């Protein structure tokens, strides 16, 4: 099986080739901790918008910074392996920053997606993508399916 986890140089090269082939590249980002149905349906919808789906995956250090010291529950290598196993995911790349702004500038996707719980103007990278002729598309999330809800249910059911 091809290793779908790439570094920035490899991904920029892949992006340039996709552009030459007139393929639409879709980008999204997130923690994807405790992968669940909501994540999978979101990623399937994202992939359906183009020819290639790239996921910017928050590194463990990035997750600690934005979600606190107890997260992620699953380390970055395991999260990347699970994401890469999904048929709808073409490539995964880690990022250490709080936001994927630099990654988005480097990759310059045709379509940037985020959950519809974000307003378009709140989505990191919106200006970059729009000024380069791309689209920013919020995707409806699966109701009642979230990592926070899953963690709450585990703690409620199995205790601390």
pLDDT-derived band at 141 (thresholds 50, 70, 90) equals confident
Q: What is the per-residue pLDDT for 1?
A: 52
The answer to whether 75 and 62 are in contact (CB under 8 A) is no
Q: Quick one: average pLDDT of 83-102? A: 97
What is the residue range of 26's domain? 8-158
pTM, 2 dp: 0.92
The answer to whether position 3 is within a domain reads: no
The answer to whether position 29 is within a domain reads: yes
| Continuous segment of H or E residues that includes residue 138 | strand 135-139
Higher-pLDDT residue of 94 and 149 is: 94
Q: Any idea what the CATH number is for the domain that residue 120 is in?
A: 3.40.50.620
Total domains present in the chain: 1
Measured over the CA atoms of residue 86, residue 22, residue 10 and residue 100, the dihedral's sign is negative
The answer to whether 43 and 86 are in contact (CB under 8 A) is yes
Q: Quick one: average pLDDT of 21-38? A: 95
Taking only the tens place, the pLDDT of each residue in 111-138 is 999 998 888 999 999 999 999 999 999 9
Distance of CA 84 to the CA centre of its chain: 11
């Amino acid at each position: 099986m091809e290793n779908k986890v790439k570094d920035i140089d490899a991904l920029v090269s892949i992006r340039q080739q996709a552009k030459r082939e007139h393929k639409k590249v879709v980008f999204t980002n997130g923690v994807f901790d405790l992968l669940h149905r909501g994540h999978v349906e979101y990623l399937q919808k994202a992939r359906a918008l183009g020819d290639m789906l790239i996921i910017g995956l928050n590194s463990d250090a990035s997750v600690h910074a934005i979600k606190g010291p107890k997260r992620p529950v699953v380390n970055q290598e395991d999260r990347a392996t699970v994401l890469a196993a999904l048929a709808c995911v073409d490539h995964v790349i880690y990022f250490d920053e709080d936001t994927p702004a630099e990654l988005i500038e480097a990759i310059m996707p045709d379509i940037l997606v985020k959950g519809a719980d974000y307003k378009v103007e709140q989505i990191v990278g919106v200006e970059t993508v729009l000024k380069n002729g791309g689209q920013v598309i919020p995707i409806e999330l699966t109701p009642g399916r979230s990592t926070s809800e899953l963690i709450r249910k585990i703690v409620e059911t199995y205790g601390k």
